[in-house]
């Protein structure tokens, strides 16, 4: 959510993209399983955050409460849809239920207006070494253990998924940056 709402519009503009429409179906800490059940039940459980280069306030997100995935999928001629696991479960292999992931992506294929739609998996990053996050004990309170678990989950259940066109390796990018002069100061 932070990257989308705070940075993505500016990044795209900096790369010369002039026609931009960004949408984010938001529930804080949402797992793939929750997305799956919301999709199956066509549940109006999301805050839909959207901005457009054609709006009166380009780059400013408008929030619409109580949105369904199906409605957001129909709202625009989307080129790319990303999906991710909640950070607290991102290294837990049992939470990567391929049938649930595929159901969500198949729904998007059937619902969206763009038959050339592409899907990406957003790989999350391991927590900061000194985090107080309640899920960190799942990873023995060890950043490398968490990072390796996330990589293992993505490699086992995402990389070879026929629906997913590519992985956005944010988790690896953050981990690599942590080994630079930046240190472990990029995330909490």
pTM assigned to the model: 0.92
Pairing relationship of beta strands 118-122 and 166-168 according to DSSP bridges: parallel
Instruction: Convert the pLDDT of each residue in 64-90 to its tens digit.
Output: 999 999 999 999 999 999 999 999 999
pLDDT at 174: 94
Q: Which residues pair with 25 in a beta bridge?
A: 48
pLDDT at 4: 81
Render 71-110 in DSSP notation, one character per residue. HHHHHS--SEEEE---GGGTT-GGG--HHHHHHHHHHHHH
Instruction: Convert the pLDDT of each residue in 36-52 to its tens digit.
Output: 999 999 999 999 999 99
Q: Is the pLDDT of residue 188 over 70?
A: no
State mean pLDDT over 134-152: 97
Q: For residue 62, what pLDDT band results from cuts at 50, 70 and 90?
A: very high
Q: Is the pLDDT of residue 95 over 80?
A: yes
N residues, the chain = 188
Q: Is the pLDDT of residue 3 over 90?
A: no
Cα distance between residue 45 and residue 71, in whole Å: 12
């Amino acid at each position: 959510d932070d990257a989308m709402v705070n940075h993505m519009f500016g990044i795209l503009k900096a790369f010369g993209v002039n026609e931009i429409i960004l949408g984010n179906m938001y529930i804080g800490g949402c797992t793939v399983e929750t997305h799956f059940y919301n999709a199956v039940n066509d549940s109006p459980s999301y805050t839909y955050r959207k901005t457009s280069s054609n709006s009166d306030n380009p780059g400013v997100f408008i929030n619409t409460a109580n949105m369904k995935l199906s409605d957001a999928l129909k709202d625009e001629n989307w080129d790319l849809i990303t999906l991710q696991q909640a950070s607290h479960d991102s290294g837990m292999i049992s939470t990567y239920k391929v049938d649930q992931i595929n159901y969500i992506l198949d729904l998007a294929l059937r619902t969206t207006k763009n038959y050339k739609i592409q899907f990406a998996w957003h790989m999350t990053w391991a927590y900061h070494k000194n985090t107080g996050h309640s899920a960190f004990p799942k990873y023995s309170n060890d950043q490398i253990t968490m990072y390796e678990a996330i990589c293992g989950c993505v490699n086992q259940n995402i990389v070879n998924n026929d629906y997913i066109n590519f992985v956005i390796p944010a988790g690896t990018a953050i981990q690599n940056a942590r080994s630079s002069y930046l240190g472990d100061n990029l995330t909490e």
